[in-house]
Structure 1
Amino acid sequence: MPVVNQEMIRNTNRRLVLEYIVNNPPISRADLAKQLQLTKATISNIVQELLDRNLILEIGSAKTAMGRKPILLEFHKHCGYALAIDVRPRQIITLITDLKGENCQVTEYPFSSDENLLPLLEEIIAGHIENCRDTSYGIVGIAIGIYGVVQENQIVFTPYYPLPDPHLGLLLSEKFNIPVLVENESNFSVLGESAFHYGYENMIHINIHDGIGMGILINEELYKGHDGYAGELGHTILFPEGKPCACGNEGCLEQYASERAILEEYACRTGRETVTAEEFLEDYQQKLPETKEMMDLFVKYMAIGINNVVNTFNTDLIVLNSFFSNCIPDINRRIVEYLSRHQNRDCKIIPSRLQDISCLIGGIRVCTEHFLDIRHLQIQTLSPDLENS
């Protein structure tokens, strides 16, 4: 057999073994051989290599009624850190975790559109690197979620803050000698949610904030289109010749159903300059009639948008992530009821489990997969006590 084929087979087997250990701990060498249908010698060689690289650990023996007790293996999730950065229109949020997305620490930084993003990120990243020198590998990867269009790690378009340097990821990677992966925040979000809801091969995640973004998984693979613009649900037309949009079109969905649009319209109807999401929620709980009107519009407009998504993709699962649907319990149910009256396709629609950190968890997942050279990282637990600083 040619050497190149032998190396390819060995790399494939190593990837299979490591991914199985990562997602199914603890497990013995014998069970690995059985589950992956590889020889015991192959498993033994690969396991020793992974032990030497400090990527897995032997954690003791399994209990058996008789015979030699097998030694159990698990992924050494504390051998390094992953760093995810969510660049929002008015703030930057970072998440640093171990390589299984656990032991989380969230930090928030102010950010305004007149700031130069590159030196600000350099300062943030340098601080995290300094705090992560206590492991074998340090920070193994950095993921940056951008509100806009990204293609092949280059930023193409940002509607709600000035376009950063298109080669932001490359510049940061060269400065810190760490892989930096830049992606649309909704694409990271769908990868984050799917790390939990990993039984679904076809899945869509809709983020509603200043705009409306959509991450798409088809056969467990991120779908971006030929130039990165797939998933721009907020820029589909709801009303021809309607309100002007930052994208250059008129009547886009996000000019009517985004969190920003709903709050601006509510402020206008109640004679205020601005209204925060928290203020809106307080008014809604007090049953002010204008809040009901706004939520009726939100349900109607989002149901129309989701109806188009269901008819286009016929997906298994839609995760809806918005302040309104996360904080007002019946919003999702009302959207589903509206949809059921207007189409007969069955699609499961659920609220986001990750909410504000869906983009960040997706970034953590991508960093770990890239470092380990595996395809799917499953995250089965979410720390209830995220540490803020």
Structure 2
Amino acid sequence: MAIANQEMIRDNNRRQVLEYLVNHPPISRAALSQQLHLTKATISNIVQELIEQHLILEIGSAQTSLGRKPILLEFQKKCGYVLSIDVHPSQIIALTSDLKGENCRLKEYPFQKEDNLYKNLCRIIRDILPEYGNCPYKIVGITIGIYGVVQQNQILFTPYYPLPDSNLAKLLESEFHIPVFVENESNLSVLGESAFHHYDQNMVLLNIHDGIGMGIMINGHLYRGQDGYAGEIGHTILFPDGKPCPCGNHGCLEQYASEKAILEEYARLTHQEQVTIDAFVRDYQNQVPEALEMMELFSKYISIAINNIINTFNIELVVLNSSFSNYIPQINLSIQDYLHHHQNRKCQIIPSRLQDISGLMGGIRIGVERFLDIRHLIIENFSSNKIR
């Protein structure tokens, strides 16, 4: 028992040192000892181990006017890379980054509902792996975002494309010998956003695209519910006996307030076969009455959803991720005005910082944290303009 306790303490100390180095570089051994309240001998042993593992490196001396100049340490973020894949209903997007969520590359691949997802993912992974064969750890993890319900790395339900093999992660791990994590795309999105908003321990992210999903962060931890169905706010009932939904119910929120639902209704009102988001935004900016009407409905329905979220979770922060709210800033103000009239609890509502790649960055975060065995990756220097 004493040996087990010693190993646990040693592992915990290593985790603290590495996480601090990842999130707060550069720093000296002495400063690490002071910040983490660990002895200098403990810090020296852990640092030497991390240097030998190519995870950190010495980068020179700090500038000081007193005594010997301390040697600074920095996390070697390019020692490995992470692959994050988002399976949309109509395409697959792959993002690779280093172990700090930087040096990102994005690729898009066509995907149809009738395609075999496993074979498509194998082809994509084989396309990407050779690019990272020269760094010490190569690709250290693969995360796959699914539109549907996932529990314990198994896929339980997908409403917008055929249900893949529930053991998709194990199949890919056997094929490539790399850890594979499968997760709901809204859960990944809230993990991505919280890597930026790391001081907010309780937050919700609303993903509004073809459907409406919700990622929930409670006390700094992802909340999935009893069997992975937590956050399926798009399938809460807005109108009893309303429009049928693929989930089997009628009148679900996403049948009225998702981007897909809004654009389809706008096309019907304006006698068009289909309308793109860009065309709709142009019509809204040109004050087309039907576009204004649809955005008023969108604001109302999403305000109702957020009002219910605040009353249920008493949350600190709601991040809204939608093309409508991202491209039409007035929509955020309209939603906030509605809530101010119906809600007196303190809750900040902000647009997504990551927008379309929030789930992908959440996947990066999972891959990095699992590989390094740290609890929270903080991303501060990310810019979508730097993605190649």
Give the structure-2-normalised TM-score.
0.99
Gaps of 5+ in 1: none
Q: Partners of 1:29 and 1:102 in 2: how far apart?
A: 25
Paired residue type of 1:149: V
Please give the secondary structure, in 2, of the residue aligned with 1:131: helix
Q: Specify the alignment match of 2:372 in structure 1.
A: 372
Structure 1 residue 133: Cα displacement: 0.6
Q: Specify the alignment match of 1:5 in structure 2.
A: 5
Paired residue type of 1:42: T
Q: Specify the alignment match of 2:258 in structure 1.
A: 258
Please give the secondary structure, in 1, of the residue aligned with 2:375: coil
Q: Specify the alignment match of 2:212 in structure 1.
A: 212
Give the structure-1-normalised TM-score.
0.99
Alignment: residue pair count: 388
Are 2:177 and 1:177 aligned? yes
Deviations 1:229-248 (A, max 9, x none): 00001000000000000000
Q: Partners of 1:209 and 1:385 in 2: how far apart?
A: 22
Paired residue type of 1:377: L
Q: Specify the alignment match of 1:328 in structure 2.
A: 328
Answer yes or no: is the 8 Å Cα contact 1:61–1:72 preserved in 2: yes
Structure 1 residue 384: Cα displacement: 4.0
Paired residue type of 1:38: L
Q: Partners of 1:128 and 1:20 in 2: how far apart?
A: 30
Q: Specify the alignment match of 2:82 in structure 1.
A: 82
Q: Partners of 2:385 and 2:275 in 1: how far apart?
A: 29
Please give the secondary structure, in 1, of the residue aligned with 2:143: strand
Structure 1 residue 329: Cα displacement: 1.0
Paired residue type of 2:332: N
Q: Specify the alignment match of 2:272 in structure 1.
A: 272
Q: Partners of 1:329 and 1:171 in 2: how far apart?
A: 43
Q: Specify the alignment match of 1:33 in structure 2.
A: 33
Answer yes or no: is the 8 Å Cα contact 1:106–1:386 preserved in 2: no
Q: Partners of 1:126 and 1:29 in 2: how far apart?
A: 40
Paired residue type of 2:387: E
Structure 1 residue 225: Cα displacement: 0.3
Q: Specify the alignment match of 1:138 in structure 2.
A: 138
Q: Partners of 2:43 and 2:178 in 1: how far apart?
A: 30
Mapping of residues 165-314 of structure 1, within 5 Å: 165-314=165-314
| Deviation beyond 6 Å, 4+ runs, structure 1 | none
Deviations 1:162-221 (A, max 9, x none): 101111111001110000000000000000000001010001111000100000000000
Paired residue type of 2:54: N
Please give the secondary structure, in 2, of the residue aligned with 1:385: helix
Deviations 1:65-91 (A, max 9, x none): 120100001110000000000000001
Q: Partners of 2:383 and 2:301 in 1: how far apart?
A: 34
Paired residue type of 2:271: G
Structure 1 residue 387: Cα displacement: 3.5
Answer yes or no: is the 8 Å Cα contact 1:104–1:383 preserved in 2: no
Q: Partners of 2:242 and 2:192 in 1: how far apart?
A: 34
Q: Partners of 2:340 and 2:147 in 1: how far apart?
A: 31
Q: Specify the alignment match of 2:383 in structure 1.
A: 383
Paired residue type of 1:298: F
RMSD between superposed Cα atoms in Å:
0.8
Q: Specify the alignment match of 2:113 in structure 1.
A: 113
Percent of matched pairs sharing the same residue: 66
Structure 1 residue 335: Cα displacement: 0.3
Please give the secondary structure, in 1, of the residue aligned with 2:290: helix
